[in-house]
Amino acid sequence: MTAQRNRVAVVTGAGSDQGIGFAAARLLGAGGNDVVITSTTDRIFTRVEELRAAGIRAEGVVADLTDQAGVDAVLACATDSFGGVDILVNNAGMTAVSDSYASGGTGSGFLDHWHASLDRNLTTTFLMTRAVTGPMQAAGYGRIVNVSSVSGPVAAYGGDVAYHAAKAGIVGLTRATAIDTAAAGITVNAVAPGWIDTASASPHERVMGAATPVGRSGTGDEVAHVIALLAGEGASYITGQVITVDGGNSIAEERGR
């Protein structure tokens, strides 16, 4: 990195004002990084204006990151606007409300859901990671933070097999990429949120959050602080790790107290 520019962070899946992605972008920007944020809708430009109002240099891109053209557009924006990418936060992805496969569903609908869930949760992470690792290796520096989940790598709930498979896949991708890039000064880590109270959280999810040892769901900001730690220059000897952010839920043996 040249001395003339700030570190540049790309954060995917940052369209919701209550989501983990936007919270991470806001915190990274407040820490002195320039920020490029993405989502699949033009609400991303409202988020850009909010970041700019806070004094953060920010740009936004509407992009489908399951497609290489969308990935290329994000990288081009970061390079043209700020000079490159030093930090990548792979947050794009979401669960789905469906139980057709849980009851033994078959046919094109089942397979369509499977492929769509893996694409938006795992393929987006893979394509973005692949796109930035070359430039990061050339620069001798990089921070990649993947947003996985406790759902899949640590635990599971009923009704979304594909989501669990994708989020577990992110952990494998994280560890393998960490090994491949460690010698080049790149760290690759993951965070695994539990019940987080975002705009998309259902009433059931909030009830589950209240049953955690902490007694509530987490917030996007609480996950973002862990992301910012892993994205920082000081985290240079942490790579291939998964940090769970779930209020102690995954370690509690006693339930329903």
* pLDDT tens string 121-146: 999 999 999 999 999 999 999 999 99
Pick out the chain residues at pLDDT < 50.
Answer: 1-2, 97-100, 102-103
What's the pLDDT at 107?
A: 57
DSSP state of 200: T
What's the pLDDT at 109?
A: 78
What's the pLDDT at 102?
A: 47
Query: Can you tell me whether residue 193 is helix, strand or coil?
Result: strand
What's the pLDDT at 99?
A: 46
What's the pLDDT at 2?
A: 45
Question: Residues 230, 187: contact at Cβ < 8 Å?
Answer: yes
What's the pLDDT at 200?
A: 82
Q: 8-245: what CATH class? A: alpha beta
DSSP state of 197: -
| Tokens at 51, concatenated | 């970041």
What's the pLDDT at 226?
A: 98
Residue ranges per structural domain of the chain: 8-245
What's the pLDDT at 5?
A: 84
Q: Which residues of 12-51 are buried (b: 16+ CB within 10 A; e: fewer)?
A: bbbbbeebbbbbbbbbbbeeebbbbbbbbeeebbebbeeb
Quick check: is 163 catalytic?
Answer: yes
Q: Helix 108-118 to helix 161-181 angle, to the nearest 10 degrees? A: 30
Which residue among 101, 157, 163, 237 is the active-site one? Answer: 163
pTM: 0.93
Question: Residues 35, 47: contact at Cβ < 8 Å?
Answer: no
